[in-house]
Amino acid sequence: MSALDINNLQNSFQEAFNLSGSPGAVSTSPTQSFMNSLPQRLSAAKQQKVLKPFSTGDIKILLLENVNETAISIFKQQGYQVEFHKSSLPEEELIEKIKDVHAIGVRSKTKLTKKVLEHAKNLVCIGCFCIGTNQVDLDFAANKGIAVFNSPFSNSRSVAELLIAQVITLARQVGDRSIELHTGTWNKVSARCWEVRGKTLGIIGYGHIGSQVSVLAEAMGMHVIYYDIVTVMALGTSKQVPTLDELLNKADFVTLHVPETPETKNMLSAPQFAAMKDGAYVINLSRGTVVDIPSLIQAMKVNKIAGAAIDVYPNEPAKNGAGSFNDDLNKWTSELVSLPNIILTPHIGGSTEEAQSAIGIEVGNALTKYINEGNSVGSVNFPEVSLRSLDLDQENTVRVLYIHQNVPGVLKTVNNILSNHNIEKQFSDSNGDIAYLMADISQVNQSDIKNIYDELNQTSSKISIRLLY
């Protein structure tokens, strides 16, 4: 290795471990930074072949709910047509818009139901620029050959930090004191105001968010216990408890970090509030259906629960605006907002500049890779399939993307169709009733492409076909 090569490698190491940056920068791990700084190979790396059997200007992307600018930039760099809206759309307008688009990006308010997706003639993929995907009919999308992607981890830190802020705010009744002072009332009190040090935090759901909350809470001197339906390795000195009741009996603060499922609906209701310590606190930044809010209201009225912080609700306004959070949306709203020591936030757990930027990059890149390469890794409703990229010197090569019903004999039929060509590499996987085959075949000329497509299109188990070349 020459002196110049050694010097370049040393510079790469220095850049990789220089973690300083502006507050607005999206952070990366030291390992990621290091890997990004190294050349792909010690020898000259082969340039990848871009697979685009279409004019990129023909690809239409619909982005709703103020999806972050990082995603818009990624799509525009590809040459796609991008239509952007700051809010969600009424159902009838959404149905009209979705007829011609190839990809749609949403956050939590837009409901992509069967009724909406039935009208999607060209839709290839859906991007949920958030953690949850319950706003999409995942099964129907899969059966139409539409892959759905989300960002399960990018806003974990933002949610965890807000949770810690709410723990302290509730313990000190900061919300009430702030409201009082805004109206001119000076009320300096210490009664029923506590330090969080030495208190017990009970975490329901010890996943990516719950575990980060655990670390932050311990750093402030809290004891941490958690309940999860699977055995999860504890971080720090936290301890897993075998039952939800045990957690409720012991915790001073109870926080939920679980998905929306039939099993988690009203996970905290009247019996669970009764099992909690007198004067305990409840925090929900997960899903609006996991806490029975009318039961929470009653528990707070009798002083069983000393305070609560709620960020998510069973029914949420479709867009920002005064007066939109009302009894028409949830019939208990007026009663909820009248309670003391309750923090109500408008689903902002993951709403930070850092989180939204990272989500835009993650989901934007996932959609682009699926459109351009067929890479479905990270899809929540689809088999996860990927092939390495083609090199520029691989001419007359076609990538076959074949989505089909998961029934016997399909691969035999497909391989018979492709048998006149050299199958360089192939990968197939299934997820329930849906299967996905990717294959790179060489020695294909332009006249062969239509014949391959037509033959695959006539197979009885076909759901969707794309050929990239």
How far is CA 304 from each of CA 21, 248, 292, 401, 445, rounded to the nearest angstrom? 46, 13, 15, 58, 74
Phi, psi for residue 15 in degrees, rounded to 5: -65, -35
- By CB atoms closer than 10 A (0-12, 13-18, 19+), residue 1 is exposed
Cβ(410)–Cβ(459) below 8 Å: yes
Which tokens in the block code for residue 10?
A: 């040393």
DSSP state, residue 48? B
Please, is 163 exposed, middle or buried when counting C-beta atoms within 10 Å of its C-beta (0-12, 13-18, 19+)?
buried
Q: Write down the residue that tokens 């192939």 correspond to.
A: 426
Q: Which of 161, 246, 316, 384 is catalytic?
A: 316
Which candidate in 157, 257, 287, 421 is catalytic? Answer: 287
The yes-or-no answer on residue 316 being catalytic is: yes
With beta carbons less than 8 A apart as the criterion, state whether 412 and 463 touch: no
Nearest to 156 by CA among 244, 57, 27, 31: 27
63 φ, ψ to 5°?
-115, 125
Catalytic residue from among 257, 347, 421, 466: 347
Gap between the Cα atoms of 222 and 343, Å rounded: 21
Active site residue 91: no
287 included as an active-site residue: yes
The three-state secondary structure class of 210 is: helix
Active site residue ranges: 287, 316, 347
